[in-house]
Structure 1
């Protein structure tokens, strides 16, 4: 089992054992993920959970794909796909089914790249056209809470852990281990559709930066240590309303 798979298996214990976050009233629209991406990328996001029939707004093929799933999985699947379909509509795309691929990755329409994410109380999707210069996207959201014991050692190498310790002296109000986790998840979501293989947590080395000002936000740069289509990546992260969001856009190669 790879380190990333081990950490992923630890996530339900890290997240599921936590009480559900209590979110303050959020103005509409809330630009959390959208604030991390360039203007040609369309991001749609929502806080809270959608009530009613989970099938509302889904394509018939998506409903069939979830026929044997549990209620929690169905609602997560449905809510994030409703956001993705809204993003595609804003991009001018027809309402096609967004079925999962072999590793659970969404299958986007031809010429479109995208990424979805959800955590307790938050759903988001981002899409862009390849013709606008985007080769890949990766977005992730996590609750702003510490990682479970032992997970950081699977996510970060010693140099990264020392880096997080230094950041904690600068901003002790930020759950830096979870920020790093989210950033690496965003990188992996951008990597997989391009490389068609998974990336372990320790195969991406990340350095985080912090913006001046009171809000927890900043950038990141990453080096991928295995051969592949994404030797380096850069993006943004932000904490708002109890959620960590991170995003990376992979520009298309020049002529």
Structure 2
């Protein structure tokens, strides 16, 4: 089972794995950074990092530590960009080379379960939710979860460039359900992005999960 290979450019390496069993071994610096974490968090962290190293290996890179910055975001080797995500039972990583024009990647995986109604308004505007409910089998609660997943992928992608922590209301989602694509438009200026600038992504709903991926390339950066 895999969720992201079909959502991303084939030059982007993807590795995925279930969150089960004993955590994979970590380099000493990574292990130290989560030494006091609960077992579940150690499993998520270690499996995600292991996926990242598998993806790096697919690009021809030797195994390397991927330390965590003060903002808790992975610090990738200078010539790579990447992102890691996990749901309650699955982890995935996507990694690409800067010299192939990739600037930032954001991926997010969620269980395909309805978002509680009390969270809908904080995640998406009614018009965003309405656009997503045109997808076959999409309930309002699942539409809100899909909006959450799309915005999370966009947030993670843009953070590598803006270092800005956005609110859900700072992005507006538009979707092409038939194509499986979406755009996230800025509702406020967040350098280097301006109002109405858009981030483009793809999404899929399969195996009781929702997956979204957003990629920025050098041709999209001013």
In structure 2, which of residues 198, 205, 222 is the aligned counterpart of residue 232 of structure 1?
198
**Equivalent residue for 1:182?**
149
**Which residue matches 2:106?**
138
Give the Cα separation in 2 of the matches to 1:158 and 1:241.
27
RMSD over aligned Cα, in angstroms?
1.8
Provide the secondary structure at the position in 2 that maps to 1:184.
Answer: helix
Unmatched segments (≥5 aa) in structure 1: 1-29, 213-217
Q: Higher mean Cα deviation, 141-150 or 228-237?
A: 228-237
Q: Could you report, residue by residue, the CA deviation over 1:219-248 in whole angstroms, capped at 9, with x for unpaired residues?
A: 101211222234211110001111111001
2:9 to 14, 38, 47: 38
Question: 1:160-206, CA deviations, whole angstroms, 9 ceiling, x for partnerless residues?
Answer: 133234x2xx5124621111100000000011110011111111111
1 CA distance for matches of 2:81 and 2:157?
Answer: 9
Bigger mean CA offset, 81-90 vs 227-236:
227-236
Structure 1: which 4+ aligned runs deviate by more than 4 Å? none
Equivalent pairs counted in the alignment come to: 215
Taking structure 2 as the reference length, the TM-score comes to: 0.90
Answer with 77-86 or 170-179: which moved more. Answer: 170-179
Question: How many angstroms apart in 2 are the aligned matches of 1:173 and 1:161?
Answer: 10
Q: Secondary structure at the match of 1:58?
A: coil
Q: Kindly indicate whether residue 19 of structure 2 is the aligned counterpart of residue 49 of structure 1.
A: yes
Contact 1:137 1:248 (C-alpha < 8 Å) held by counterparts: yes
Determine the structure 2 residue equivalent to 1:242.
Answer: 208
Is residue 129–residue 143 contact of structure 2 (8 Å, CA) maintained in 1? no
Structure 2 unaligned runs (5+)? none
1:111/1:129 contact within 8 Å kept: yes
Q: How do 1:105-184 and structure 2 match up within 5 A?
A: 105-165=73-133, 167=134, 170-173=135-138, 175-184=142-151
Q: CA contact under 8 A between 1:187 and 1:248: conserved in structure 2?
A: yes
What is the match of residue 182 of structure 2?
220
Q: 2:38 aligns with which of 70, 77, 88?
A: 70
Cα shift at 1:153? 0.5
Q: Is residue 163 of structure 2 the alignment partner of residue 200 of structure 1?
A: no
SS at match of 2:117: coil
Distance 2:206 2:5 in 1: 12
Counterpart-to-counterpart distance in 1, 2:20 and 2:60: 24
Post-superposition offset of 1:158:
3.2
Q: Which residue of 2 aligns with 1:252?
A: 218
Q: How far apart are residue 152 of structure 1 and its match?
A: 1.3
